[in-house]
Structure 1
Amino acid sequence: MPSLLLRHAAVAVAGPILTYAVIIMLGTTPFIQRHILYAHKFYQFWQDSDQPQNWGFARNQVTSFHLPTEDGESIHAWHILPLPVYRQHEELLQVQQTGHCADVTASESFRILKDDPSAKLIVYLHGNAGHLPSMVRAPSFHTYTATSNYHVLAIDYRGFGTSTGSPTEDGLILDGCAALHFALETVGLSPDRIVIVGHSLGSAVAAGAAERYTRVHGVDFAGVIMVASFSNLSDMLSGYAIAGLVPILKPLRSYPRILRLVLGCLVDHWESAQRLRNMVSIVHRSNAEEDQDKRAYKKKTNDNPRRHLQLSLIHAADDNDIPCFEDDKIFNTVIAPLVGEEVPATELLALKEQRTKHLGKGAFVSEWRDGDVTIRQERFPHGGHNNIVLFPPVLLEMMRIFEEAAERRQ
């Protein structure tokens, strides 16, 4: 009898371990890995995202259309009008046909955005799984547009919803760039009237797209807001648990060699902290060289306007999916070009503390300003992983960034 019990106990223990091992092994293959990471096939096929009224938007408040990417994909997009602006043009908008718009440039909503010299745009990049209106996305668009004058441009990445293609790191960054290209070139908006907002996986897309525009095109947007972000995929997965309950690679932390072997199989890396640090370095170095040049030649002109970067990190303390300390890693990484590479961690912590306002248990705001570079980190006590995009810190940060952009224009 004892041996039978031991055999049953061994089977009971070995079964879950074997299942976990098989899942991890399957996850090392690029095809399975990307389906797990992006979960792009998990969306509501029965929901027609070309009919935004199903999610409580006014008739033609949302224009549903597709954008081309530079590598030939076609990604689904929503342009959402702010309600105060919609109200001014309500009669014209309501007589237009609803549904998918084949030529967005011929739509009334596009004309409204393009013809408004004071227009402000939020480029919203969502997290993994679902499609444009899934989960908290549609409610968040309502939050951002209900009372403000902010337009929203949101996209479904390749492979998501009705967008073509399959998701990869480089591909999603191109998708984010396609949205920014549309805003800058097709609509004709000035970059200082555009705020990029990325949530969860979308924060990594935001970092990648913004860094590319900073590095390749020399374009500085009004601001970049990273909500529930992570420093890089390897670090995040090492401690990640779905809903804080189902671990992915956390059990392997007791076996470092196996963990390194598994992480070495990652095909996408999403080094967000390094990309943001690169942006800080570019802007900081450019302005330092400009200042030195002006001193050397006693220039008094503004032929070369100063570059700027407004980076905001917002995370809920009770985020059970991506731990809030991921923002601490990003903050410490991106300020390195401003303080020097050799500053000890204890001194860095003390410098940050001097710039921090504590707002109760688990809540604080740290703001690091160095010339035209501002790094702002806010830890909010509530909101979890998803609802944080609906909570006041995100909309308030949009308002703060647009106000500072307006001050720079004066």
Structure 2
Amino acid sequence: MGSLAFAILRRSFYLAVLPLAGLYVLVPLLFQTVPEFMQHAFFLNFVKVPFLDYTNLTYHGVAHLGRNFRLPEIGARVLCKGEEPVLGVWHVLPASLSRRLEAEIEAGTRKPLTDADYEALLDAESHGVVVYFHGNSFDRTNAHRVDLYNRLADLDFHVLAIDYRGYGDSTGFPSEDGLIEDAHFIYNYARARAPTKNIYVWGHSMGTGVSARFVAELSDLGIPPVGTVLESPFNNLHDVVTHHPLSRPYRWLGERFNRLIVDRWVDSGLVMHSDERIVKHKAPLLILHAADDHIIPVKLGKKLFEAADKAGVDVKYVEFEANLGLRHKFIHKAPHLADILKEFFQRCEAFTTSRKPTKRHEEVHIDA
């Protein structure tokens, strides 16, 4: 009986451990031999819900009037197998404007909005336009992202939310240079159709890496956004990869882990050194991070804040304590978030005037 139990335990051990051991060896091997695997492993754009209807914003929880549209990247320099990508985009109207238009449509004094109407309304009454860049995996329909769109619309902002190339219903496949070009296309779209409005950039998780480089490039061009919000950010690729939960089995390799994994990503064109790029930002910056973030440790967001502060960027760092349970993607539910954003947006507006406020470097911790 004892030998039978031992045999069962041994078999169970092999069944549990051998697949993990094989994966442990297979992942570095794939990094060395299959470049496409490296990109997929970082961007996770293959993680998606199939057969989604992107045209019905209400079905996905958007609380205000909005539209789904396609943005072709005509003249794109970073092509996908020789073709220009086409991005899937949502435009969500500000709450007060949405309510007024809904009432007019219901009363029969206005026809349902057309695509041309939405484009014209982008420059209509509002506090401005927020261009949102999401993190890796899934798409613009994710519930936590939709809740943020609603909250920004409640503050009377237009929201433009894209899916990068290869995500959602956007065509092509992702690369760092490609995502940056996607960001330029949607930003230029907003500038062309909302010339009188302030434009803000909001990035979450991987989207903070996109935003940090993108805004640095805009600053070099002399056309920075009025302000930038980085939610749950990281300081650089090396640190975010080595601190990610999935890298835990490889950390004991030390410098060999860098050569096997991180360096291979860099060689493929994936850099995302936000701490180097953020020093070029020419507009106020707000960094939001949760102390209990289990994907990107809060210390990486703090390092990014320190890099911006050292470079003289106007920056405010807000850390939400662990007792709030906001983790990596629920900062949109944070207490006082609306007040934090209102204060930040007002400060950004002040920077557009001739009497700019004194630059600040402020750190705030919120626990209730």
Q: TM-score range by the shorter chain?
A: 0.7 to 0.9
Q: Distance in 1 between matches of 2:18 and 2:148?
A: 44
Look up the match of 2:293.
Answer: 319
> Quick one: which of 270, 273, 280 aligns to 1:271?
273
1:89 and 2:94 are equivalent in the alignment: no
Q: Which amino acid aligns with 1:182?
A: Y
1:136 and 2:144 are equivalent in the alignment: yes
State the Cα distance separating 1:194 from its structure 2 match. Answer: 1.5
Q: 1:186 to 1:252 in 2, by over 3 A?
A: same
- CA RMSD in angstroms comes to 2.6
The secondary structure found in structure 2 opposite 1:318 is: coil
Q: Which amino acid aligns with 1:171?
A: G
Look up the match of 1:185.
Answer: 192
Q: Which amino acid aligns with 1:73?
A: P
1:379 and 2:319 are equivalent in the alignment: yes
Identity in percent? 25
Say if 1:27 and 1:36, in contact at 8 Å, map to a contact too.
Answer: no
The secondary structure found in structure 2 opposite 1:65 is: strand
TM-score by length of 2: 0.81
Q: Distance in 2 between matches of 1:394 and 1:30?
A: 41
TM-score by length of 1: 0.73
Q: 1:7 to 1:141 in 2, by over 3 A?
A: closer
Q: Distance in 1 between matches of 2:288 and 2:59?
A: 30
Structure 1: gaps (5+ residues): 242-246, 284-308, 339-372
Q: 1:178 to 1:189 in 2, by over 3 A?
A: farther
Q: 1:93 to 1:321 in 2, by over 3 A?
A: farther
Look up the match of 1:407.
Answer: 350
State the Cα distance separating 1:334 from its structure 2 match. Answer: 2.3
> Quick one: which of 22, 29, 48 aligns to 1:25?
29
The secondary structure found in structure 1 opposite 2:311 is: helix
Q: Distance in 1 between matches of 2:223 and 2:24?
A: 46
Q: 1:189 to 1:124 in 2, by over 3 A?
A: farther
Say if 1:42 and 1:130, in contact at 8 Å, map to a contact too.
Answer: yes
Look up the match of 1:73.
Answer: 85
Q: Counterparts in 2 of 1:149-228, with a 5 A limit?
A: 149-190=156-197, 193-215=198-220, 217-228=221-232
Say if 1:314 and 1:393, in contact at 8 Å, map to a contact too.
Answer: no
State the Cα distance separating 1:225 from its structure 2 match. Answer: 0.7
Q: Distance in 1 between matches of 2:10 and 2:61?
A: 57
State the Cα distance separating 1:161 from its structure 2 match. Answer: 1.1
Deviates further, 203-212 or 385-394: 385-394
The secondary structure found in structure 2 opposite 1:89 is: helix
Look up the match of 2:134.
Answer: 126
Q: Distance in 1 between matches of 2:217 and 2:52?
A: 34
The superposition leaves residues 267-291 of structure 1 with CA deviations (integer Å, 9 ceiling, x where unpaired) of: 3121111110233xxx4xxxxxxxx
Look up the match of 2:80.
Answer: none
Deviates further, 204-213 or 26-35: 26-35
1:109 and 2:83 are equivalent in the alignment: no
The superposition leaves residues 19-58 of structure 1 with CA deviations (integer Å, 9 ceiling, x where unpaired) of: 2221332244321122222221222223201111212335
Q: How many residues get paired?
A: 329
Look up the match of 2:363.
Answer: none
Q: Distance in 1 between matches of 2:35 and 2:333?
A: 34
The superposition leaves residues 322-343 of structure 1 with CA deviations (integer Å, 9 ceiling, x where unpaired) of: 11111121122223334xxxxx
Say if 1:199 and 1:389, in contact at 8 Å, map to a contact too.
Answer: no
